Amino acid sequence: MPDRLGTPRMDSIVPTFGGYYLERLLSLVQSIHNSGPSQQSSAVGDELHWFDSGDHSSLDAKKYKGLLLVLRDITRQGWQITYPQKRIMLLRPEHTQGRRSGGDVNQTKERIRAGFQAERLAQLNLPSTVRFIQRMENPSGRKRPVTDLLEKGDQLATRLRTLALSSACSDVAQYIDPYLQLVTPTAKDTFTGQRLTDIWRYLRYSWAIPYQSTPGRNMFYLVRDAAHRSHAVMGIAALGNCVAQLSDRDRQIGWSVDAIDETFTRLLREQDGLLPRRRYEDTTANDTESAYKTHRGSPVAQYSRQLADLLESALDRELSEIDCSRLATAKECESPTGGVIARLLQKAADSEYTRREHLRAASAAGRAVERESSYSSIRVATRSPLFVRKRAKALADVLFAKIAFRDAGLCSQPAEAIRALLGSDAGRKALRIALHANKKAKVGTNMMDIIVCGAIPPYNQGRRALWVIWAGAASPCLR
C-alpha cells in the first residue's frame, strides 16, 4: 500500500530457522514472488499439505510450519510475497488507496470482503455457530423460525412497484414503514418468540466481515418494517465505545492542537479581511452546538474566550479526579511551581524503580505477582508503586499545563495567550494535555461510535429500494 509519498509499504521476514526448511522456504518464495496473492496462497497451501503428510517434529520444522500458516493467512487477505534483492518481503494490500488515488471504491470493498472470506467461513463452520444457526432456523416448542422475519425479494419488489405508482405521501407507510427497535438482553420478538439478541446475532452472521463481540458499552438495534406481516428486519445497527485516538475526528471536532491552530489562524485572517467570513454550518468548534452559535461572526476574542474557558474547566475536572494524597498539597495544586512538578516527576521515577525491583524480587523467588481486583482493594492499589507512578505523572502533566496557561495569561488575555501557546513547544504541550482531558471526559461518557450499520437482504438490493428505506426513516409524513 503506497504511503503519502507514493512508496509501497512493505514488511520484511527474517526466518529464525535454517538448513533444509530454510532451503524449501527460499525455493517456494522464488517460485511464486511474481504471482498474485491467490496463486501464492494456493502454493503455500500445497506446501502445508506436503508438510502435514510427512514426519516433521524438530523445532525448525515447527517454526517453518508456523511461518507457512502465517503466509497462507495473509496472502488470503491480499498480501503479496516478494523477493527483491534476495530478501523476503511482504507487500501490503491496497485497501486504503482507492479513495485517495481516485480508484474504484467498490473494487476496494470487494478486495476487503475477499480478504475476510476465509475467516468468515471458518467461523460459520464452528460447531457452536452451526448449532446456533440450526436452533434459530428450526426452533423447538412454540417459537417460529427466524426466517419468518426475512422478507422475500419478489414480495418486496411487488410492494415497491405498487408504491412507485402511488403519488400520495400518506400511502407510503402501507408498503414500507421502518422503525427502530432497541435490543435488550431479555426482550423477545412478538412474532417468533425468539430473543432479540439472538435475532441480531443471527443476522450479523450474514455480514462479509466475521462477527466479533466488542468490549465496553454496546447498544444494538433492529430496523423493522411495520408494513410486513411479521415486521421483517430491514437492517441491523449497533453503537459501541468510541475509539480514543482518531485523528480525522479529533481534527474535525477541534480536539487537537493542529485543529486549534488552523481555526485560530483562519479567524485572524477573517478579522484582517484576508478571508471571507465562514458560515455557521462550516465552523469548527470544540464542544457543543451553543459553542458554534457563539462563533457566528467569528470574532477572535469570542473564540479565544470560549476556548480558554473550555481548557481551564477541562484541567480543573481532570485535577479533581486525581488522588493527590501524599503527592501534593491543595495549595501546591492551586498555585503550582516548577519545583512541585520536578518533585512529582522524581516521585514517578522512584515509584517505577521500586515497582521493577519488586517484580525482579518476585521473579527471583519464583512467586507470581498478586493482583487484587475487588472493590475493597482499590484504595490499597492506588498506593502501590504502579499507581503512584501513574498518579504522579498525571498530576505533573495537569500542573504543567496550569503553569503554562497562567504564565501566558489565558484567563486575562485569552487571544494573546493562545497565540503565544501555539508558538512554543511547551505551550503546544500544555494545550495537548488540556485537550486530552476534555476529550477523555466526552469520549468516555457522551459519545458512541456506529460499529455496525447495514441493510438485510433483500432490502440492501437496488438504489430505489434504499432510497425508499431512507425516505421512510427520515420523512415526518411517513410516521
Grid coordinates in use for 128?
457452536
The confidence score (pLDDT) of residue 473 equals 47
Grid coordinates in use for 37?
496473492
The confidence score (pLDDT) of residue 122 equals 87
The confidence score (pLDDT) of residue 172 equals 75
- DSSP for residue 183: E
Q: How far apart are CA 305 and CA 315, in angstroms?
A: 16
The confidence score (pLDDT) of residue 268 equals 87
∠ Cα 121 126 127 (to 5°): 145
Residue 141: strand, helix, or coil:
coil
Q: Which amino acid is at 118?
A: A
The confidence score (pLDDT) of residue 439 equals 92
Q: How far apart are CA 476 and CA 127, in angstroms?
A: 46
- DSSP for residue 151: -
The confidence score (pLDDT) of residue 8 equals 60
The confidence score (pLDDT) of residue 77 equals 81
CB atoms closer than 10 angstroms to residue 365: 7
List, as one string, the DSSP characters of 55-117.
Answer: ---SHHHHHHHHHHHHHHHHHHTT-EEE-GGG-EEEEPP-TTHHHHHT--HHHHHHHHHHHHH
Cis bond upstream, residue 93 (ω within 30): no
> 442 and 436 in contact (C-beta within 8 Å)?
no
The confidence score (pLDDT) of residue 169 equals 60
* Residues contacting 190, CB < 8 A, separation 6+: 231
The confidence score (pLDDT) of residue 209 equals 84
Residue 232: strand, helix, or coil:
coil
The confidence score (pLDDT) of residue 277 equals 62
> 200 and 239 in contact (C-beta within 8 Å)?
no
Nearest CA-CA partner of 37 in 118, 127, 96? 118
Per residue of the chain (479 residues), what is the pLDDT tens digit? 444 444 567 788 899 999 999 999 999 999 998 898 889 999 999 999 999 999 998 999 999 999 999 999 888 888 899 998 888 999 888 765 544 555 577 777 777 777 788 788 889 999 999 999 999 999 998 999 999 999 998 888 888 888 777 766 666 778 888 999 999 999 999 999 999 999 999 999 988 888 888 888 899 999 999 999 999 999 999 999 888 888 888 888 889 999 999 999 988 888 776 666 665 444 444 444 444 444 444 568 899 999 999 999 999 999 999 999 899 999 999 999 999 999 999 999 999 999 999 889 888 888 776 665 555 566 677 788 989 999 999 999 999 999 999 999 999 999 999 999 999 999 999 999 999 999 988 887 888 989 999 899 888 875 554 555 444 444 443 33
Grid coordinates in use for 89?
518481503
Beta partners for 219? 239
User: Structure pTM?
Assistant: 0.70
List, as one string, the DSSP characters of 4-54.
Answer: TTSPBPEEEE--S--HHHHHHHHHHHHHHTTS-HHHHHHHHHHHHHHHHTS
